[in-house]
């Protein structure tokens, strides 16, 4: 069953290795071709060597190629997987630092909020380039699997404007289910059945059953509040559970920046944030984590290469959706998962054009979504606020309309709870100027934005954020890891 799988952004070494390993766990896929492409020759060489070592060690007929020529990698591909970050950490740093000057305190900043919206403006032109190449040189009917954030905006653009068969994939639902299974004392997540629906990073466990027994709000609240770790790390998430009646898939830090209530007052943020790990709400937490670990593969590459020489263990296949979708489409073995697709009536109380994340089944006939879902009204209202922002942001990215972009940012829930219209207009000008090299659709607007900034009237502040850690150097991180390893 030989066919070609192209991976764009394959220089994300750890994630690409996981995806490829999962795919090779399927016996029918032992002779696939992995076509890797990235803008980094160095990273491409590393991941090519790792996959080649894995293939040779397991005596598989699979093949691996690596090239910086994206169209060459996509030629004849039946599946295309994207895990790119346009602008890298340089642009991402501005997504966090510039909004902070206007009082907008983000933990991640890659989905909505000021950072996520500008991230989408960088990604969408590139996503459309991918789609053009897929239409022109990939196999007829090729499926595009998007892992890149901002998930909803990227997938929306690929479907509506890229005209490519696209599904967005995320692992937030799986992680949320693992937490719930743990607090309920389940032996494994396999004992838990659930329906989780909404939009990416705002998905809600609207039906939960443990070994067939329905789990209600009160039992779930008690289970989380009684957990020695999650009761401290997920305070905001538990508060939302109490008020909405259902649990959200997203971490404390992620969820906090999609809502207008918890991060708008500096003195209040500490009530809801846990600093034991970045994901629980630290200001710019994911940026700090990414900077501190940006070159981890340089020191860990020999270990990765060594582990690639070991037999593939199919029992350790991950719960990432990609390999399971491919297996279902190619073999007919049915797979149930949660997928990002255009709504078209699947969720009754969300707009038809929205990109939703909801349950579906995959077989040879494709991805078949479970329809007739109605979200609790509070969940739908929260999702609607983000959907309206996403729609404006996508249309702004396509048209290069900086005024529409500013309106999208203005209507973001957290931004609107913190900043005035004058502050938003100036902040967006500053972000567009800072990221101009990655925003070709706004080239015509950059000079005017610079001129407005030269006469800026809104005062900004020097503010590191309400829950901030110092960014440590890579050498400090390595020394700490070495000390921990030595201590056992």
d(CA 98, CA 435): 11
Cα–Cα distance list, 87 to 92, 93, 393 (Å): 7, 10, 18
Three-class SS string for the chain? CCCEEEEECCCCHHHHHHHHHHHHCCHHHCCCEEEEECCCHHHHHHHHHHHHHHHHHCCCCCEEEEECCHHHHHCCCCEEEECCCCCHHHHHHHHHHHHHCCCCCCCCCCCCHHHHHHHHHHHHHHHHHHHHHHHHHCCCCCEEEECCCCHHHHHHHHHHCCCCEEEECCCHHHHHHHHHHHHCCCCCHHHEEEEEEEECCEEEEEEEEECCEECCHHHHHHHHHCCCCHHHHCHHHHHHHHHHCCEECCCHHHHHCCCCCCCCCHHHHHHHCCCCCHHHCCCCHHHHHHHHCCCHHHHHHHHHHHHHCCCCCHHHCCCCHHHHHHHHHHHCCCEEEEEEEECCCCECCCCCCCEEEEEEEEECCEEEECCCECCCHHHHHHHHHHHHHHHHHHHHHHHCCHHHHHHHHHCCHHHHHHCCHHHHHHHHHHHHHHCHHHCHHHHHHHHHHHHHHHCCCCCCCCCCCCCCCCCCCHHHHHHHHHHHHHCC
444 is catalytic: no
Looking at 161, 171, 175, 227, which residue is catalytic?
Answer: 171
Minimal CA–CA distance to 23: which of 232, 248, 264, 331? 331
Q: What is the signed CA dihedral for 204, 115, 152, 191, rounded to 10 degrees?
A: -30
Q: Tokens 């150097």 appear where?
A: 473
Minimal CA–CA distance to 380: which of 257, 204, 249? 204
Looking at 258, 262, 335, 442, which residue is catalytic?
Answer: 258
142, 79 Cβ separation under 8 angstroms? yes
171 is catalytic: yes
Minimal CA–CA distance to 370: which of 327, 339, 324? 339
Q: Strand 202-210 relative to strand 366-369: parallel, antiparallel, unpaired?
A: unpaired
d(CA 8, CA 234): 34
d(CA 410, CA 115): 13
Q: Mind telling me the catalytic residues? A: 171, 258
């Amino acid at each position: 069953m030989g066919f070609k799988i192209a991976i764009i952004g394959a220089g994300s070494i750890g994630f690409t290795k996981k995806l490829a390993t999962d795919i090779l766990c399927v016996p029918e896929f032992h002779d696939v071709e992995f076509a890797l492409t990235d803008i980094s020759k160095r990273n491409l060489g590393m991941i090519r060597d790792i996959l080649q070592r894995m293939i040779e060690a397991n005596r598989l007929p699979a093949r691996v190629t690596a090239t910086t020529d994206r169209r060459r990698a996509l030629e004849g591909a039946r599946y295309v997987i994207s895990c790119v970050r346009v602008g890298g950490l340089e642009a991402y740093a501005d997504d966090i630092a510039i909004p902070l000057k206007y009082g907008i305190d983000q933990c991640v900043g890659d989905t909505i909020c000021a950072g996520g919206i500008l991230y989408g403006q960088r990604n969408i032109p590139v996503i459309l380039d991918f789609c053009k190449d897929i239409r022109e040189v990939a196999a007829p009917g090729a499926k595009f699997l998007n892992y890149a954030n901002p998930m909803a905006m990227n997938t929306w653009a690929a479907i509506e404007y890229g005209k490519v068969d696209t599904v967005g994939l995320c692992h937030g639902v799986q992680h949320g289910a693992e937490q719930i299974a743990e607090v309920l004392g389940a032996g494994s997540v396999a004992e838990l059945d659930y329906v989780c629906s909404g939009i990416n990073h705002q998905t809600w466990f609207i039906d939960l059953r443990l070994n067939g027994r329905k789990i209600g709000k009160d039992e779930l609240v008690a289970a989380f509040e009684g957990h020695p770790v999650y009761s401290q790390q997920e305070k905001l998430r538990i508060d939302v559970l109490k008020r909405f009646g259902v649990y959200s898939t997203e971490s404390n830090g992620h969820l906090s920046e999609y809502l207008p209530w918890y991060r708008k007052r500096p003195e209040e943020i500490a009530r809801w944030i846990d600093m034991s790990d970045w994901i629980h709400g630290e200001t710019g937490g994911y940026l700090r984590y990414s900077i501190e670990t940006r070159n981890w593969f340089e020191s860990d590459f020999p270990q990765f290469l060594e582990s690639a020489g070991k037999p593939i263990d199919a029992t350790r296949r991950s719960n990432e959706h990609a390999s399971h979708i491919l297996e279902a489409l190619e073999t007919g073995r049915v797979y149930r998962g949660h997928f990002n697709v255009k709504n078209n009536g699947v969720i009754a109380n969300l707009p038809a054009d929205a990109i939703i994340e909801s349950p579906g089944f995959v077989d040879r006939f494709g991805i078949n979504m479970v329809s007739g879902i109605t979200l609790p009204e509070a969940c739908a209202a929260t999702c609607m606020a983000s959907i309206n922002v996403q729609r404006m942001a996508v249309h702004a990215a396509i048209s290069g309309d900086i005024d529409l972009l500013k309106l999208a940012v203005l209507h973001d829930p957290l931004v609107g709870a913190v900043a005035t219209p004058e502050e938003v207009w100036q902040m967006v000008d500053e972000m567009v100027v800072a990221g101009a090299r990655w925003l070709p659709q706004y080239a015509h607007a950059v000079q005017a934005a610079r001129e407005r900034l030269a006469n800026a009237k809104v005062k900004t502040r020097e503010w590191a954020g309400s829950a901030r850690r110092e960014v440590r150097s890579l050498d400090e991180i390595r020394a700490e890891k070495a000390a921990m390893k030595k201590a056992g």
